[in-house]
Amino acid sequence: MRKTTTIRMLGFPIDLGADRRGVDMGPSAVRVADLDLKLESLGYSVIDEGDIPIRNIEVQELQDTHLKYLPEVAEMSAILATRVKTILDQGEFPLILGGDHSMSVGSLAGIGAHCREHAKRLGVIWIDAHADMNTSETTPSGNIHGMPVAIAMGIGHPSLTTIGGDFPKLAPENLAMIGLRSIDPGERELIHKLGIQAYTMFDVDRLGMYEIASRVIEDMSRKVDHVHISFDVDGVDPAVAPGVGTPVSGGLTLREAHLLMEMISQLDTYGSLEVAEVNPVLDDRNRTAEFAVEIIASSLGKRIL
């Protein structure tokens, strides 16, 4: 169990960063799957702060096809960053429910600002089929949900990289990516250039999840003071989590995902979590949201025995 026993749940129902609609209902779907009750059964006090209101696409104007809905994403990300930083400053655990993965622009900005203010080194474990390291120059779609990792490292449009302060929120050597299997050419180049610890599904097949999780956790234990987990449900196979906007076959199995999160729970520096891309419109009777709840519980101490 984490040092704090208070979890503040915050919904960020953004779908401006992606093409397929429906992820704005993700926070509600996860709540319906009894997330609060699961966490309370583990001994936590859960405070649900509700959702940050976000204007939907129908009332937005698309100004830049390389950075879709940039003004609203930047404005809402700044609000999320402030809320997340406040939760951490209070000594509590922020649990952010998305929404598409552009949510990480704001969450990582807030966590990075907190860490900088308190002289902490931030580490991020990114669980995702995608690297999310594009820029306006490399993006094939213009969707900002494919950019938050680059933005957190200070690479991207200044209206996004300066949220929470004009400094990189994340050092490349303190990032570990797990489950990758759909990487754009520009992202591949940046991963190699920055020497990022990136584990593709080939690596998962070759090494096994226990070995990969052990390496990542040992590395994080040595180098950082605050570990943030960003879990995109498309990191797992669509057979496990069908309700995602950008499914990619050949992903993590249910047990691989749980093993990883159960091992992460042992990290003393684990201090924040976000879950992205749950899309009820594409789901089967809320299976993906229910899976997300179980994954969250595993990361916060739930065990079989």
232 is catalytic: yes
Active-site option among 15, 24, 92, 101: 101
Q: Is 101 a catalytic residue?
A: yes
Catalytic residue status for 132: yes
Residue 218 designated active-site: no
Burial class of 65 by CB neighbour count within 10 A (0 to 12, 13 to 18, 19+): exposed
Query: One of 72, 184, 187, 234 is an active-site residue; which one?
Result: 234
Q: E-strand spans in 203-243?
A: 226-232
Choose the catalytic residue: 51, 232, 237, 290: 232
The answer to whether 118 is a known catalytic residue is no
Residue pointed to by tokens 């201090």: 271
Q: Which residue, chain included where needed, has tokens 């209101």?
A: 53
Tell which phi-psi region holds residue 34, choosing left (phi > 0), alpha (psi between -120 and 50) or beta: left
Count of C-beta atoms within a 10 Å radius of residue 96? 29
Beta strands of 28-108 (E only): which ranges?
A: 45-51, 93-98
Known catalytic membership, residue 48: no
24, 132, 184, 237: the catalytic one is 132
- Identified catalytic residue from 92, 100, 114, 145: 145
Q: Which two tokens stand for residue 262?
A: 């159960």
Q: Rounded distance, CA 94 to CA 273, Å? A: 7
Residue 209 makes CB contacts below 8 A (sequence gap 6+) with: 252, 256, 259, 260
Nearest to 250 by CA among 242, 260, 238: 238
Q: What is the residue whose two structure tokens read 């995602």? A: 244
Number of H helices, E strands in the chain: 11, 8
DSSP state of 253: -
Question: Of 72, 92, 128, 184, which one is the catalytic site residue?
Answer: 128
Strands 226-232 and 122-127: parallel
> How many Å apart are CA 230 and CA 129, to the nearest integer?
12
Task: Given the residues 114, 130, 228, 258, select the one marked as catalytic.
Answer: 130
Catalytic residue among 72, 92, 277, 294: 277
| Residues involved in catalysis | 101, 128, 130, 132, 145, 232, 234, 277
